Structure 1
């Protein structure tokens, strides 16, 4: 078998992928770098979405209705969320960490805060 990085012959176990520690480290460092760039971009969007929801809800409210247009003006990106849940009525809640929103109508969005259980 040949090394994934330098194409030298790999000696040793049959499942080895790299000829040396240097090649192995090079591969994994570059893999982490490319992953980190994508993750950072997505994480920035998710954190911005959460900040917008926190600003709307404040620290005391547990739920509120807001016009979709208001969220759009604040640059909320509906496409990005951490997970979703379908309730017993078939309504989809889209979560950004501890906040969730549900399309209440074509014009309104229901925003709720999920209590964190640590």
Structure 2
């Protein structure tokens, strides 16, 4: 039974446990696997940067409230954040770097309170 290289489909000659026909094919396969593994990292990083840009755009004064649909329409994804802070009332603010948001329901409408990170939020 002849084994075929998973990269180029040529015959693999040599030891019985050999998988690739050449070091070049082995390297190519490992490179592709690394790209696939890092693709998730790049996707998360891209979304975090997008979220930060959107939060910064709508929060020019340090604190504002706006409908969730406005942010979501621009591609904001609230599941991506860098850290969180819980205030004394137990409300959890999620942050994308220095810009944060708190999900609220006000008069039956889903809203976000947008804030910027403050020194007192450290603890």
* TM-score, normalised via structure 2 length: 0.62
State the SS of the aligned residue for 1:81: coil
Provide the C-alpha distance between the structure 1 equivalents of 2:31 and 2:73, rounded to a whole number of angstroms.
39
Instruction: Give the equivalent residue in structure 2 for 1:110.
Output: 113
Structure (1 or 2) with the larger CA radius of gyration? 2
Instruction: Give the equivalent residue in structure 2 for 1:45.
Output: 47
Provide the C-alpha distance between the structure 1 equivalents of 2:34 and 2:88, rounded to a whole number of angstroms.
40
Unaligned runs of 5+ in 1: 1-7, 9-25
* TM-score, normalised via structure 1 length: 0.64
For 1:70-95, what per-residue CA distance to the aligned partner results, in whole angstroms no more than 9, with x for missing partners? 11111211111112222111101111
Provide the C-alpha distance between the structure 2 equivalents of 1:48 and 1:86, rounded to a whole number of angstroms.
23
Instruction: Give the equivalent residue in structure 2 for 1:36.
Output: 38
Instruction: Give the equivalent residue in structure 1 for 2:62.
Output: 62
Q: How far is 1:30 from its partner?
A: 7.6
